[in-house]
């Protein structure tokens, strides 16, 4: 049920998190703190009960420890720490980042292993009486209580310290052994934004070609036991609960659905061209079938395509930002969904330029942008040209379900429960309970992180827990579409001025703008042919989609992966440019006369008509004439005779190239070998002039000789 890992080693520093500020029992200055962070892996395998109420008697936590160091660890002892109840949003956030004080209540240390060799595992169970027994834990009132599982031990160097810990939160509905549950306020109207998204894995998806993926991660996620499979099946499991299911709205990434559909037609994995992917195709087909059944008559809201960063795009390529917000047609065509009109699921605040861009896409209802630490009503945000209603999600609830949020302070050697996806639901549920009882009547939108990775049974427990809160009157599930489309309050504010683009992202936006400008130039030269009926925009769409993937919010280490995604899009564009080419002659071309045209064969392998210009490089001995732009039918070739004048006899070369009328190079230049045996007109004129001069000089000499002879006779 619950699994928490700590101290994954120096090569996995992203998984070393901070804990609460309790000092070690004894410290040695010479002992590196990294030893503490790599010594033990702590797994919480079960906890009962997970929600405390008046019937609860004993808290039982089962734990396993694995020695991940290179030396034995001795004197392992564990106990539970309980904090005072959370009383504010600030304290809740502090708890979520492993910073809350944890010494309100302590159970005695219990020895769990005298000696644990490297690589070995020890299991134990911690118990605490919840009704005032010796060594127990007391809850004076209902609320949300931070709980710490603390493990101390002695390393080989003699350092005795905290070696592992795990932070959890316990929702206390009512005090154990007390009477009725605590009095509730008016429950807030509540809906759930359920994510169906994934990190983009597409390398290439040409209109008339085979899908290429970076790996088979998507297929694994769609198989039973996978992340995407669990999200769909868990939501389907509560369909019969009409009130709960109607409160769910599915935030679906069109890129994921489009990729899954392409996978059903066959695909290959980059670097493994001979790999059998039939199982992946079948998994995608089965998963799409389940999605179709799930979203039938359900609330659906699209995310930006590939979860593209619209604010990042809007500053340099607003047309791409608009494209990212307008791909919900994919959801209708592939899974039969009917997205909520004018709605877009966003992940944060949008800049003024971004709001105008999504307005161009007809999106004026923005759902799910985090509200921060405090409850916020739906708000109207205005620009000079548009108005948008923003329905925010609760930022602390989302934070509680998000991994990698603990402070990086390895000396405390503690990690959050939510830093591992299979127990994120515990903290998430406790945060929902806290928000519902302390947030007043403002709407509560529960929005798990887009890349939510939680086992199926945990997802079901999470949904059932929300249903139990509804039964207890803590919150009120309402149809998601009603929550989203309710009139905004009088709260209005202008959009944030300026760009939200971070400084390091400017390089990638410049590269994206360059590729998109090339796409636009190529588009100008293309037109739809009456034979194949292929829209040039559809042919170029995969390239633009690749640019959207480069700005995906799902990409970790974004500068590196973003540049790779732009490179993938650029390679797809180059493939299109190379589909218009010049056929290289297989022999030297002989020019029969000085004005003989040069035969050039050009080919268009694109499924659209394209207008091209043929250009000959300037070369000594040949003067080419201009040739008008030529229209090439789709998937056809054309033989041209390019007029040129040979200025001399002999052999020479000339480079022949193609471009669009706007000057965009197509294909690669081709070198022609020419042989000329005739003089051109210019050569004849020069020769004639030279002959005339020669005759003139010869005549002058003869005339002078005659005059000289005559003078002698005289």
Q: What is the mean pLDDT of the chain?
A: 84
Asked if 505 contacts 312 with a C-beta cutoff of 8 angstroms, the reply is: yes
In a domain, 4, yes or no: no
Q: State the pLDDT confidence band at 32, using cuts at 50, 70 and 90.
A: very low
Task: Encode pLDDT of 85-134 as tens digits.
Answer: 999 988 888 888 776 677 788 999 999 999 999 999 999 999 999 987 78
In a domain, 549, yes or no: no
In a domain, 401, yes or no: no
390: domain range? 189-394+447-494
In a domain, 403, yes or no: no
Torsion angle, alpha carbons of 32, 101, 63, 41, to 10: -20
How many Å apart are CA 300 and CA 101, to the nearest integer?
Answer: 41
Task: Encode pLDDT of 12-21 as tens digits.
Answer: 322 222 233 3
Residues 132 and 235 occupy one common structural domain: no
Segment 301-305 shows an average pLDDT of 98
In a domain, 228, yes or no: yes
How many Å apart are CA 357 and CA 323, to the nearest integer?
Answer: 9
* pLDDT score at 423: 67
Residues 108 and 138 occupy one common structural domain: yes
Angle at CA of residue 392, ends 391 and 393, nearest 5°? 125
Which of 143, 172, 201 terminates a domain? The answer is 172
* pLDDT score at 14: 27
Q: State the pLDDT confidence band at 325, using cuts at 50, 70 and 90.
A: very high
Residue 216: CB atoms within 10 A of its CB come to 18
Residues 119 and 198 occupy one common structural domain: no
At which residue do the structure tokens 């699994």 appear? 3
Residues 112 and 252 occupy one common structural domain: no
Residues 212 and 322 occupy one common structural domain: yes
Residues 144 and 257 occupy one common structural domain: no
Tell me which residue of 402, 424, 405 sits closest to 1, measured CA to CA. 424
CA dist 179 → 174, 184, 627 (Å): 8, 15, 95
In a domain, 608, yes or no: yes
Task: Encode pLDDT of 331-374 as tens digits.
Answer: 999 999 999 999 999 998 898 999 999 999 999 999 987 655 55
In a domain, 41, yes or no: yes
Residues 221 and 153 occupy one common structural domain: no
Q: Where are the alpha helices (H) located in 58-123, listed in sequence order?
A: 89-96
How many Å apart are CA 616 and CA 618, to the nearest integer?
Answer: 6
Q: Residue 135 sits in a domain of what CATH number?
A: 2.60.40.10
Residues 166 and 286 occupy one common structural domain: no
How many Å apart are CA 462 and CA 143, to the nearest integer?
Answer: 18
Q: Percentage of the chain surpassing pLDDT 90?
A: 55
Task: Encode pLDDT of 531-560 as tens digits.
Answer: 889 999 999 999 999 999 999 988 866 678
Residues 328 and 234 occupy one common structural domain: yes
Whole-prediction pTM = 0.85
Phi (first) and psi of residue 127, to 5 degrees: -125, 155
Q: State the pLDDT confidence band at 609, using cuts at 50, 70 and 90.
A: very high
Residue scoring higher pLDDT (266 or 588): 266
Which of 106, 139, 172 terminates a domain? The answer is 172
* pLDDT score at 584: 86
Residue 340: CB atoms within 10 A of its CB come to 20
HSE-CB of 684 using CA atoms within 13 angstroms: 9
Residues 158 and 201 occupy one common structural domain: no
Q: State the pLDDT confidence band at 189, using cuts at 50, 70 and 90.
A: very high
* pLDDT score at 279: 94
Segment 296-309 shows an average pLDDT of 96
Domain count, the chain: 3
Residues 214 and 137 occupy one common structural domain: no
How many Å apart are CA 553 and CA 546, to the nearest integer?
Answer: 14
Listing DSSP states for 206-218 in one string gives -TTS-EEESSSHH
Tell me which residue of 539, 517, 516, 514 sits closest to 526, measured CA to CA. 539
Residues 65 and 195 occupy one common structural domain: no
In a domain, 421, yes or no: no
């Amino acid at each position: 049920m619950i699994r928490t890992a700590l101290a994954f080693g120096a090569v996995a520093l992203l998984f070393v998190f901070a804990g609460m500020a309790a000092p070690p029992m004894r410290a040695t200055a010479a002992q590196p703190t990294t030893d503490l962070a790599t010594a033990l892996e702590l797994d919480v395998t079960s906890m009962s009960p997970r929600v405390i109420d008046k019937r609860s008697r004993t808290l039982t936590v089962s734990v396993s420890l694995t020695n991940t160091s290179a030396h034995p660890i001795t004197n392992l002892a564990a106990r539970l720490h309980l904090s005072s109840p959370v009383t504010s949003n600030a304290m809740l956030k502090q708890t979520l980042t492993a910073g809350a004080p944890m010494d309100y209540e302590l159970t005695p240390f219990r020895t769990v292993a005298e000696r644990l060799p490297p690589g070995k595992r020890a299991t134990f169970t911690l118990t605490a009486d919840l009704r005032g027994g010796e060594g127990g834990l007391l809850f004076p009132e209902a609320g949300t209580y931070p709980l710490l599982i603390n493990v101390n031990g002695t390393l080989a160097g003699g350092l005795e310290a905290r070696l592992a810990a795990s932070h959890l939160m316990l929702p206390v509905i009512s005090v154990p052994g007390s009477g009725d549950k605590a009095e509730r306020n008016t429950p807030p109207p509540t809906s759930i934004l359920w994510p169906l998204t994934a990190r983009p894995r597409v390398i290439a998806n040409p209109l008339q070609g085979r899908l290429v993926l970076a790996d088979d991660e998507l297929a694994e996620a769609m198989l039973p036991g996978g992340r995407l499979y669990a999200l769909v099946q868990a939501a389907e499991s509560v369909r019969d609960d009409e009130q709960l299911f109607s409160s769910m709205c599915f935030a679906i990434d069109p890129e994921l659905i489009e990729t899954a559909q392409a996978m059903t037609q066959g695909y290959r994995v980059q670097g493994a061209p001979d790999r059998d992917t039939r199982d992946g195709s079948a998994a995608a087909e089965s998963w799409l079938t389940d999605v179709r059944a799930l979203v039938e008559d359900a609330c659906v809201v699209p995310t930006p395509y590939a979860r593209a960063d619209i604010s990042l795009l809007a500053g340099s390529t607003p047309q791409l930002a608009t494209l990212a917000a307008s791909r919900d047609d994919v959801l209708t065509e592939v899974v039969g969904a009917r997205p909520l009109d004018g709605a877009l699921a966003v992940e944060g605040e949008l800049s003024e330029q971004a709001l105008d861009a999504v307005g161009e896409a007809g999106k004026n209802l923005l759902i799910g942008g985090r509200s921060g630490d405090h409850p916020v009503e739906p708000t109207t945000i205005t620009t000079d040209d548009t108005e948008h209603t923003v329905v925010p999600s609760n930022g602390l609830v989302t934070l509680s379900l998000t991994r990698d949020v603990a402070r990086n302070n390895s000396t405390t050697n503690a990690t959050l429960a939510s830093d591992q996806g299979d127990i994120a639901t515990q903290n998430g549920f406790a945060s929902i309970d806290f928000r519902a009882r302390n947030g007043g009547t403002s709407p509560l939108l529960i929005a798990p992180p887009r890349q939510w990775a939680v086992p199926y049974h945990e997802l079901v427990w999470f949904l059932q827990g929300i249903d139990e809160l509804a039964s207890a009157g803590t919150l009120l599930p309402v149809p998601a579409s009603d929550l989203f489309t309710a009139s905004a309050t009088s709260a209005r504010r202008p959009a944030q001025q300026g760009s939200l683009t971070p400084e390091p992202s400017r390089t990638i936006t410049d590269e994206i703008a360059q590729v998109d400008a090339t796409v636009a130039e190529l588009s100008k030269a293309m037109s739809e042919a009456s034979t194949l009926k292929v829209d040039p925009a559809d042919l170029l769409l995969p390239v633009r989609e690749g640019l959207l993937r480069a700005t995906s919010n799902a990409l970790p280490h974004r500068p590196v992966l973003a540049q790779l995604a732009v490179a993938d899009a650029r390679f797809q564009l180059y493939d299109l440019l190379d589909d218009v080419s010049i056929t290289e002659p297989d022999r030297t071309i002989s020019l029969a006369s000085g004005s003989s045209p040069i035969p050039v064969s050009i080919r268009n392998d694109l499924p659209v008509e394209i207008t091209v210009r043929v250009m000959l490089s300037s070369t000594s001995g040949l003067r080419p004439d201009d040739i008008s732009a030529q229209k090439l039918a789709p998937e056809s070739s054309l033989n041209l005779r390019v007029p040129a004048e040979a200025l001399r006899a002999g052999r020479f070369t000339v480079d022949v190239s193609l471009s669009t009328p706007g000057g965009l190079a197509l294909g690669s230049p081709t070198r022609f070998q020419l042989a000329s045996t005739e003089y051109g007109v210019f050569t004849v004129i020069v020769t004639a002039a030279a002959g005339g001069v020669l005759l003139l000089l010869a005549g002058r000499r003869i005339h002078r000789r005659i005059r000289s002879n005559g003078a002698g006779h005289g």
